[in-house]
Amino acid sequence: MKGYQMSSGLCLIVLSVFALQTQFATASYSMSETCQQYSEGYIANPDNCQGYGYCRGGVLIGTGTCKDGFLYDSNGGICDYAANVTCMSKLESTCSVVGDPVYVADPDDCTRACYCNNGKYSCTSCPQYQVFNPNTRSCVYSSQYSCPASSICRLVPNNKFVGDPNNCGNFIQCVGGAGLSQPCPNNLHYNAVTGYCATDPPNCGNSPPSPTPPSAGPGVLQNLPTNSTACSNYKTPPSGNSYFVSDGTTCMGFYVCDNTDGPGTWYKCPFLTHFDEEKQKCVTPYSVRCPYDRCGNLNQTFVADLGCTSYSYCITQTKQNFGGNTCKAVNFNYQYFNEVASACVNQDPAYPICTSS
């Protein structure tokens, strides 16, 4: 009788462990839930291999989609060629973009291995207590592979920090869609909204405060005022018409000058163009080296920085101060940012903005 009771207890323990592991392997986070633990930056869309979102202050404040032929790389935080990206989105979206027939992990359930072919899939389950490792294409014990489906890091780029939703006040450094929970030093607490360890206890379990909407850069919503000295470098144009001078603040704005005494009246280029003072006209943005905010007057999510080895993130036609966006850090073989494709590429696009000077 005692033996039977011990066996029953053991059975209950095993079933409990299996239930916990199954729950662990199939848990997943939405973009909004991920943003609650991520102070600022872009994340993958779990429902669309081409989609991404932007977090600020614990809230999802914007979404976007990569151009055709590109997928969003959740590890690098940028759109990249489909062949270079392991999609972390829903299985239907994953199988719709893979090329050759291949086994992939179910993004929502690490216990399943799924065979994709021509956009269709069929799945089999790993043995009990095991998960599918897409790197080795085999089922392994969960101690040998961190399941991204269960991690708050699943949608977050590499080497970014997030709060631990299961251990308030701890943080996780994300690498490859997973990471380990760590406490802050010196009895501090991690604040997921600010992204820093602080003395104040974190506001766990409560909704984050509404973020301040991103402010628009100069000239985006309101014209710049008339400038009394803008025309001091006035040059008589061959045609005898007015001379146009860069406003020295934006990429799309210029002053119209009729003589050196001024004043100069400010105007803005047509939407999707930037001003080229040398050519005295508005041009395609990547054809003029503008040293100011290149997001202005454009509807793009990413724009190239001068030199084309890094890029900036745009909201409300304004560059966001979210540094470290170098293509080399995403993929060493794709070191240049192509603004037209909105992706990192392996060859210098050779646009004027890509030149050293």
Interacting residues of 207 by C-beta distance below 8 A, sequence separation 6+: none
Residue 324 confidence (pLDDT) above 60: no
CA distance 109 to 148: 9
Per-residue pLDDT, 227 = 87
Q: Which residue has the higher pLDDT, 182 or 324?
A: 182
Q: Please tell me the least confidently modeled range out of 165-169, 238-242, 338-342.
A: 238-242
CA distance 179 to 327: 23
In eight-state DSSP terms, residue 91 is H
Each residue's pLDDT tens digit, 48-83 = 888 998 888 888 887 888 888 888 888 777 888 877
CA distance 94 to 45: 12
Bridge-based pairing of strands 109-117 and 102-106 is antiparallel
Q: How many Cβ atoms are within 10 Å of 255's Cβ, its own excluded?
A: 24
CA distance 266 to 268: 7
Per-residue pLDDT, 255 = 93
Helix, strand, or coil here: 31?
helix
State which amino acid sits at residue 89: S
Per-residue pLDDT, 211 = 57
Residue 9 confidence (pLDDT) above 90: no
The angle at the Cα of 62, spanning 60 to 68, to the nearest 5 degrees, equals: 125
Q: Where are the extended beta strands (E) located within 168-242?
A: 170-174, 181-183, 189-191, 196-198
Average pLDDT over residues 200-217: 69
Residue 147 confidence (pLDDT) above 80: no
Average pLDDT over residues 140-161: 82
**pTM, two decimal places:** 0.60
Taking the domains of the chain in order of start, what are their residue ranges? 31-149, 153-198, 302-354
Confidence of residue 292 (pLDDT cuts 50, 70, 90): very high
Q: Please tell me the least confidently modeled range out of 27-36, 298-307, 317-326.
A: 317-326
Interacting residues of 255 by C-beta distance below 8 A, sequence separation 6+: 227, 230, 231, 244, 245, 246, 247, 264, 265, 266, 267
Residue 20 confidence (pLDDT) above 50: no
Per-residue pLDDT, 85 = 80
Mean pLDDT of the chain: 81
Average pLDDT over residues 213-239: 79
In eight-state DSSP terms, residue 269 is P
**What residues pair up with 243 in beta bridges, in sequence order?**
257
Per-residue pLDDT, 309 = 92
Place of tokens 């379990």: 205
Interacting residues of 266 by C-beta distance below 8 A, sequence separation 6+: 219, 223, 224, 225, 226, 227, 247, 253, 254, 255
Per-residue pLDDT, 27 = 46
In the chain, the percentage of residues whose pLDDT exceeds 90 is 31
Per-residue pLDDT, 351 = 96
Interacting residues of 310 by C-beta distance below 8 A, sequence separation 6+: 304, 325, 326, 327, 337
Bridge-based pairing of strands 181-183 and 170-174 is antiparallel
What would the DSSP string read from start to end of 326-346? BHHHH-TT--EEETTTTEEES
Residue 158 confidence (pLDDT) above 80: yes
CA distance 49 to 229: 51
Q: Which residue has the higher pLDDT, 267 or 135?
A: 267
Helix, strand, or coil here: 342?
coil
Residue 261 confidence (pLDDT) above 80: no
Q: Which residue has the higher pLDDT, 350 or 313?
A: 350
Query: Is the distance from CB of 19 to CB of 63 less than 8 angstroms?
Result: no
- Name the residue among 340, 337, 219, 215 with its Cα closest to residue 271: 219
Q: Which residue has the higher pLDDT, 339 or 86?
A: 339
Average pLDDT over residues 114-136: 86
Q: Which residue has the higher pLDDT, 301 or 234?
A: 301
Residue 274 confidence (pLDDT) above 50: yes
Confidence of residue 338 (pLDDT cuts 50, 70, 90): very high
- Name the residue among 124, 125, 123 with its Cα closest to residue 95: 123
Residue 1 confidence (pLDDT) above 50: no
Q: Please tell me the least confidently modeled range out of 216-220, 235-239, 349-353.
A: 235-239
Per-residue pLDDT, 207 = 61
Query: Is the distance from CB of 223 to CB of 247 less than 8 angstroms?
Result: no
